[in-house]
Amino acid sequence: MTETFTIQIDRAEGSLQRLIGLIERRGFHIDRMTLADTGAHREVRLAIRPRDNSRSCDVLGRQIDRLIGVRRIAPAPASNAFAEEASVCPA
């Protein structure tokens, strides 16, 4: 049930809170998370899991996408799964 997204967000005040708050409010657990600086933007990788089976990751993806300050959102390829040591936020 877990899906991983890679999301580019502006390096703006509040942008990380905005993203994480949205995901939890819309009914998803955040199991893993990393944050990296890519120069112009920040890149967030998140492993998320719906709280119940009425929640769709597709719809969540579009809700994230419409946030102002989100530049790009893409499902992360399976081969790019989280390395244990990269997890800053274990479940």
Please say whether the beta carbons of 53 and 5 come within 8 A.
no
Task: Collapse the DSSP code of 73 into the 3-class scheme (helix H, G, I; strand E, B; otherwise coil) and give the result.
Answer: strand
**Side chain identity at residue 64, one-letter code:** I
Minimum CB distance to other proteins, residue 21 (Å): 5
CA distances from 56 to 18, 41, 70 (A): 19, 27, 19
Chain residues binding other proteins by CB under 8 A are 13-14, 17-18, 21-22, 25, 56, 58-59, 62-63, 65-69
Please say whether the beta carbons of 71 and 9 come within 8 A.
yes
Cβ closer to other proteins: 8 or 87? Answer: 8
Cβ closer to other proteins: 68 or 78? Answer: 68
Minimum CB distance to other proteins, residue 52 (Å): 14
Cβ closer to other proteins: 22 or 87? Answer: 22
Minimum CB distance to other proteins, residue 84 (Å): 31
Which residues does residue 53 pair with via DSSP β-bridges, in sequence order?
none
